[in-house]
């Protein structure tokens, strides 16, 4: 247990602009697609974080060559594609707690075949991967569990793909479907491959990111609503040449919420109305709470119109950004209900339980259910020491509780283990301080 913490003084007003780090979801998808494609890819503004470092290290262990070039405006990663044939047929891969890395990589290695082990931090070994492994093994791959069935660590051996239809549950994590879609062209050598979704597909905007990027790498996916997806045979990932990583829309949520809570205007740069990320819809949720939102092609701005309105809404489509709404609810005029968020329970931590525990520390009344959370704000927010559960989003969310200092000047919010933000946004607290002057 780390004893490191950061103390945040209460702040009455925030204002300014923040340039967002690259999207984690886009970064790790682009890295794997680049590695699998024919030709060399230049990736501009790749996110620099724990989760992308894990993917980069794994690709290097698999024999994929890449270099990083620092430029005046940012970074360019040069990746040499291997056209679906990995140079190293065996590797031991440490995946940290990066769901966006382990799930697609598991699928790719299972389809390509070899002798690979994948493992991560203890929490990673509690995050489900069974639905993905079941779908892959039913198609002829050879993936074994070396710990608890249904969870990493994994041992992947050579299999033989024989199926032309795969099916996967859609209601636990959209990353399982993302992983299968990304490797489907590798399976569709001679026959079309279809993937059927069992049950309701959650987090659809993340599948939209996946489909968008697969198209950017030259592969067509035929879609029958959200029920099934088909990839025709003989398609190969082709380098798009240069590809830019959008700013991270989930990270944008904290700064937009800050503008909503404590005046603003706060502008985030790197995402805008043309974003391929569903989490930009977070701005619409803030609008429902009475916040003034304006958008450009590559920016979004939030400004407060006074007390926030309580919200009762389904957040299945934006589960990560929805955590920030639970914090905004502390500043609303009544009880807010966030529904259809069961996926919170299988993330970096059990986020429903963690959020309920920490919101109660600051005085909120909280009701938690299997797939919902209800937050009633306190009359006055109580200063507290917030635990973060090795979850980057818990740390970033609860930084916002230091805002609106009018009622409690001189009070301090303490955030334990602030370094956990390194998973997606290592410079977060510096960026937050810059708007909270």
SS (H, E, C) 34-63: HHHCECEEEEECCCCCHHHHHHHHHHHHCC
Within 10 angstroms of residue 367's Cβ, the number of other Cβ atoms is 12
- DSSP helix, strand, coil percent of the chain (3-state; round to 5): 35, 25, 35
Cβ 234 vs Cβ 204: under 8 Å: no
Phi and psi (nearest 5°) for 157?
-120, 180
Choice among 248, 320, 387, 390 that is catalytic = 320
Query: What are the distances in angstroms from CA 174 to CA 100, 203, 365?
Result: 10, 6, 31
Query: What are the distances in angstroms from CA 321 to CA 88, 253, 264, 344, 354?
Result: 38, 6, 19, 11, 15
| Structure token digits, residue 111 | 């389809």
Peptide bond into 265 cis (omega under 30): yes
Residue with tokens 């491959």: 193
Apex CA 243: angle with CA 238 and CA 248, to 5°? 130
Pairing of strands 115-119, 142-145: unpaired
| Structure token digits, residue 296 | 């450009």
Buried b (16+ CB within 10 A) or exposed e, 341-355: bbbbbebbbbbbebb
**Residues, the chain:** 437
The residues near 6 (Cβ < 8 Å, ≥ 6 apart) are 414, 415, 418, 429
Active site residue 320: yes
Distance, first Cα to last Cα, the chain = 31
Kindly list the catalytic residues: 320
């Amino acid at each position: 247990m780390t004893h490191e913490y950061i103390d945040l003084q209460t702040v009455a007003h925030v204002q300014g602009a923040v340039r967002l780090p690259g999207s984690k979801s886009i970064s790790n998808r682009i890295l794997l697609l680049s590695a699998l494609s024919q030709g060399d890819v230049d990736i501009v503004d790749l996110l620099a974080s724990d989760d992308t470092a894990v993917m980069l290290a794994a690709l290097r262990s698999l024999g994929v060559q890449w270099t990083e070039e620092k430029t005046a405006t940012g970074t360019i990663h040069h990746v040499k594609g291997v056209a679906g044939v990995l140079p190293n047929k065996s590797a031991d891969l440490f995946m940290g707690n990066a769901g966006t890395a382990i799930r697609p990589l598991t699928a790719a290695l299972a389809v390509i075949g070899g002798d690979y082990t994948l493992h991560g931090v203890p929490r990673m070994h509690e995050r489900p991967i069974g639905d993905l492994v079941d779908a892959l093994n039913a198609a002829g791959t050879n993936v074994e569990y070396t710990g608890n069935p249904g969870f990493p660590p994994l041992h992947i051996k050579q299999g033989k793909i024989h199926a032309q239809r795969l099916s996967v549950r859609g209601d636990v994590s959209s990353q399982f479907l993302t992983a299968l879609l990304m490797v489907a062209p590798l399976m569709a050598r001679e026959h079309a491959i279809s993937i059927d979704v069992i049950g309701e597909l959650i987090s659809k905007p993340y599948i939209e990111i996946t489909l968008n990027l697969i198209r950017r790498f030259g592969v067509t996916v035929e879609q029958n609503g959200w029920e099934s997806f088909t990839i025709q045979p003989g398609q190969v990932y082709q380098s798009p040449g240069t590809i830019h990583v959008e700013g991270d829309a989930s990270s944008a949520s904290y700064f937009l919420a800050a503008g909503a809570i404590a005046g603003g205007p706060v502008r985030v740069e790197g995402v805008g109305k043309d974003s391929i990320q569903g989490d930009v819809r977070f701005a619409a949720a803030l609008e429902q709470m009475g916040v003034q939102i304006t958008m450009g092609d590559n920016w979004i701005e939030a400004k407060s119109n006074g007390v926030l309105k309580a919200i009762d809404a389904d957040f299945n489509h934006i589960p990560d950004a929805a955590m920030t709404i639970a914090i905004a609810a502390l500043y609303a005029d009544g009880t807010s209900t966030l529904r259809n968020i069961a996926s919170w329970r299988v993330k970096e931590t059990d986020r429903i339980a963690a959020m309920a525990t920490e919101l109660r520390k600051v005085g909120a009344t909280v009701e938690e259910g299997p797939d919902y959370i209800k937050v009633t704000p306190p009359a006055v927010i109580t200063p507290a020491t917030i635990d973060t559960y090795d979850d980057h989003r818990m740390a970033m969310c609860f930084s916002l509780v230091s805002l609106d200092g009018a009622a409690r000047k001189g009070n301090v919010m303490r955030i334990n283990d602030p370094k956990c933000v390194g998973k997606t946004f290592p410079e977060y607290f510096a960026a937050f301080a810059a708007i909270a002057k």
